Amino acid sequence: MTARADRSSIIEFRDVSKVFTGRSGDVTAVDHVDLSVNAGEIFAVIGYSGAGKSTLVRLINGLERVTSGELVVDGQDVVQMSESQLERKRRDIGMIFQQFNLFGSRTIAGNVAFPLKVAGWSKERRDARVAELLDFVGLLDRAHSYPDQLSGGQKQRVGIARALAAGPKILLADESTSALDPETTQDVLRLLRKVNRELGVTVVVITHELEIVRAIADRVAILESGHVAEIGTVFEVFTNPQSEVGRKFVSTVIHDKPIGDDLARIRQAHPGRIVTATVHDGSRLGTVLAGAGAQGVSFEIVYGGIGTLQARSFGSLTLELSGPEAAVDQVVAQLRGVTEVEEVA
């Protein structure tokens, strides 16, 4: 059965598999994947090493060919395309890489101009376009430098300018910040956001770090052994992961519940009932706690934090509630009435 394409989807995988045949047998890198990327969004693909992320994304621009299934990219079925059709199609799909893949013997301007030269643009048009792109990525003054004179972050800016040269609708970013330090990573992520917001380019980001997803993506698919373990908005996946692998990823970035030594220390110092309550916009935790005293229950905040996720507050607080058991039960019930509450063992 083939699902009808969502009108807003720009990339549509329908039951797509990719099998590599090697000497030591077949490897199914992508295993019956159904997913769609919406036009204009920043979509992240996350997974551990070997999960099939790179292969999945390389299918989009035909660097790898689909073994079975349908793959529609911007209205065209790339499975049926010939190599020369794919070559033309790739002009609408920019790609950047972890190791930047710049030509060391060409200047920055020469690197950005290269795809335009291949596409047959005149020198005059190329020069104007290169200047415009270098200005966009903040490197106009480095036009005549060579890649090895640039920092890693600057090299990736050149990579982005080159990927955007022919005005693609889609930009694929394969571990594009993995070789960069945290500060430079933030710079590159800001630039990718600018590409998305100002140019309307759909961005597909591959990463193995959930922090990258949190910083940039609108939606995320978690890959495990070639299949989609779960997919959702970043807020949904962070706040309520549905799969085991999703929970594992989220626990690496959201330390919302005390575990191990932290839990042992809290237990020792706080003999009362310990619960963790989720905090998000509109959860009236404070109102409930303000009324706890009148019911004979006192509380301490013993662990937790609140941050921002996709412009919404999100976090959790672990509380020690002390007082008569029935009254504590009542306050826990009131907390459950306004938010999710978990007993801490």
Ligand X SMILES: Nc1ncnc2c1ncn2[C@@H]1O[C@H](COP(=O)(O)OP(=O)(O)OP(=O)(O)O)[C@@H](O)[C@H]1O
Q: Could you list the residues that contact ligand X (CB under 6 A)?
A: 20, 22, 27, 29, 47, 49-55, 208
Give me the least distance between CB of 23 and ligand X, in Å please: 10
Give me the least distance between CB of 29 and ligand X, in Å please: 3
Q: Which residue, 50 or 138, is less far from ligand X as judged by CB?
A: 50
Q: Which residue, 156 or 207, is less far from ligand X as judged by CB?
A: 207
173 and 192 Cβ atoms separated by less than 8 Å: yes
Q: Which residue, 30 or 274, is less far from ligand X as judged by CB?
A: 30
Q: Report d(CA 312, CA 314) in Å as an integer.
A: 6
SS3 232: strand
Give me the least distance between CB of 139 and ligand X, in Å please: 28
Give me the least distance between CB of 187 and ligand X, in Å please: 23
Q: Report d(CA 287, CA 258) in Å as an integer.
A: 24
E strands within 125-185? 170-174
Q: Which residue, 51 or 201, is less far from ligand X as judged by CB?
A: 51
Biggest CA pair distance of the chain: 82
Give me the least distance between CB of 100 and ligand X, in Å please: 16
Total length of the chain? 345
Q: Report d(CA 44, CA 204) in Å as an integer.
A: 6
Give me the least distance between CB of 143 and ligand X, in Å please: 33
Q: Report d(CA 125, CA 329) in Å as an integer.
A: 73
SS3 36: strand
Residue type, 176: S
Q: Please name the residue that has the structure tokens 């839990």.
A: 263
Give me the least distance between CB of 111 and ligand X, in Å please: 24
User: Sign (positive/negative) of CA torsion 174, 178, 183, 184?
Assistant: negative
**Residue 83 CA to chain centroid, in angstroms?**
30
129 and 116 Cβ atoms separated by less than 8 Å: yes
Q: Which residue, 224 or 320, is less far from ligand X as judged by CB?
A: 224
List helix spans (H) across 200-284.
210-216, 234-239, 244-253, 260-269
Q: Report d(CA 256, CA 344) in Å as an integer.
A: 12
Give me the least distance between CB of 252 and ligand X, in Å please: 15
Q: Which residue, 223 or 321, is less far from ligand X as judged by CB?
A: 223
Q: Please name the residue that has the structure tokens 């110092």.
A: 269
Q: Which residue, 41 or 224, is less far from ligand X as judged by CB?
A: 224
Q: Which residue, 65 or 208, is less far from ligand X as judged by CB?
A: 208
